[in-house]
Structure formats: structure tokens, C-alpha cells
Amino acid sequence: MNRLKGKTAIVTGATAGIGLKTAELLAAEGVHLILTGRREERLQEVKKEFEDRFDVSVQTASFDVQDAEACKTFVDSLSSSIDILVNNAGLAKGTDPVYEASFDDWNTMIDTNMKGLLYLSRLISPQMRERNTGHIINVGSTAGHESYAGGVVYSATKHAVKAITEATKKDLHGTEVRVSMISPGLVETEFSEVRFEGDKEKAANVYKGMKPLVAQDIAEIIVFVANRPAHVNIMDTIIYPVAQSSATMVHRNE
């Protein structure tokens, strides 16, 4: 049953990967979209494509979720109520150990993965609470359940997303607003290219000799979570490819 048709969703980080595929699958279900990202030209391409393919409206906003004032300006500009907020924007930078890592990389991850998610949750949740309906879906990671060497701050930010998700649900206790989290393992998107500063060879080696998840796999789960009956709240889902059993246990056919 499609319970999503006619609703309006914000998807952050919607220019590629999980965010883009989630937006596409929501549009296919008849959800009107408000897409955010840092690449204005790409957002306009996605808007045109989705409006041509699907019977939905698509709005776009190009800004960085790290910027609190930009987040406020964006939310102030909204003319419609938001039914679903997909906090997808996030990234990893580097794999250096704690004694060698870059402060700039740490700040970028903290400001995007934690603060950006918090800013939009803070700005959108009041209208959901007032209307007594809505769904906040945070894209976390299995790194939010299990830390690993070389991921000290990325893992910390994703542990924070888990804590934020749980605390947000408790803050909204007694309302009909739902709060969920999706925790993927290895997903082949632009993620590793960003982590390795555009080094495509290093990025490809992350998935070498195994079949990783793809954006479609995670987007389907996000849409499934959003489409549950109003009384059902899925707090978290942990998704690995079959070849992965933990953050560091990956079976490779080499």
C-alpha cells in the first residue's frame, strides 16, 4: 500500500548516491520533493528529470548544511509543510589514526554529519510537533554501532547520529511524529572518492573483490521505513552486504 502519495519530503545531499536514489524512489511513489545539496547545476538537472518522469513538484535549494544561517534561510523560505525529512547529507574524510589526522577533516565531518543534521532537525521538528505528524529519517552508518581504526571521528559522528535519533524520538514522545535511522555498511557511491580526496583507485580498492551494497538498496529501505503504517516506528536498520560481517570483516574473492 502506498501511504506516501501527495506527501512532501526534504532530502539533503540529494545530488548523488543514496540521497539521489532516495529522492527518485520517493518521487516514483508520488512524493513532492525539496532537494538540497551544494551543486546547484546538478540539482537543476535532477529537478527537470524528475518533473519530466514523475507527477510531482520538485523544489531545490543549494547550500551547505554546515552553515546554520543557510539552514535557517532555507527553512524560512519553505511554503509547504514537511511530512518527511531525510537527513542524508554526510561524508567521511581520511583514514588517518588519531595521532596523525587533520583537524580540518575532523571539523568537516563534525559540522556536516552532526551539526547539519541537528540544524535541520531543530528547524523542521517544531512544525511536525505542532501538526502532530511527520517523520525524521537519519542516514547513519554501521560505524555508529562499531568503531574501527582510522575512523575515529567518522565513527564518533555516526555514534552521535544514533544518539541524536534516539534522543529525538524521546523528545517527541507522546506525539505522532516518527524518528528513524538507517545504518548501512559498505555502499558503493561517491563516498570513498570523497574520503580519499578524489583518488579513484583508492576508492575502488575499498570494494575490490566483493559485491558491495548500492544506493538503490539503501533507498528502498528508506522508502519502506517511510511507508509503514502511522503507528509503526522503525528506529534503526543495520544493512551489510553479504560479504561484510562487521566494520573490518569483509570477505574478498581475490
Residues with catalytic roles: 154, 158
Please state, in angstroms and rounded to a whole number, the distance separating the CA atoms of residues 74 and 38: 13
238 contact partners, CB below 8 Å, separation of at least 6:
142, 145, 183, 185
Assigned C-alpha cell, 124: 523542521
- At 29, the amino acid letter reads E
Number of Cβ within a 10 Å radius of residue 212: 20
Using alpha carbons, select from 164, 218, 223 the residue that is nearest to residue 187. Answer: 218
235 contact partners, CB below 8 Å, separation of at least 6:
165, 166, 169, 179, 180, 181
Number of Cβ within a 10 Å radius of residue 240: 18
Using alpha carbons, select from 57, 159, 83, 78 the residue that is nearest to residue 117. Answer: 159
Contact 53, 29 (CB under 8 A): no
The bridge status of strand 84-87 relative to strand 236-239 is unpaired
SS3 62: strand
Torsion of CA 190, 23, 181, 144, to 10 degrees: 10
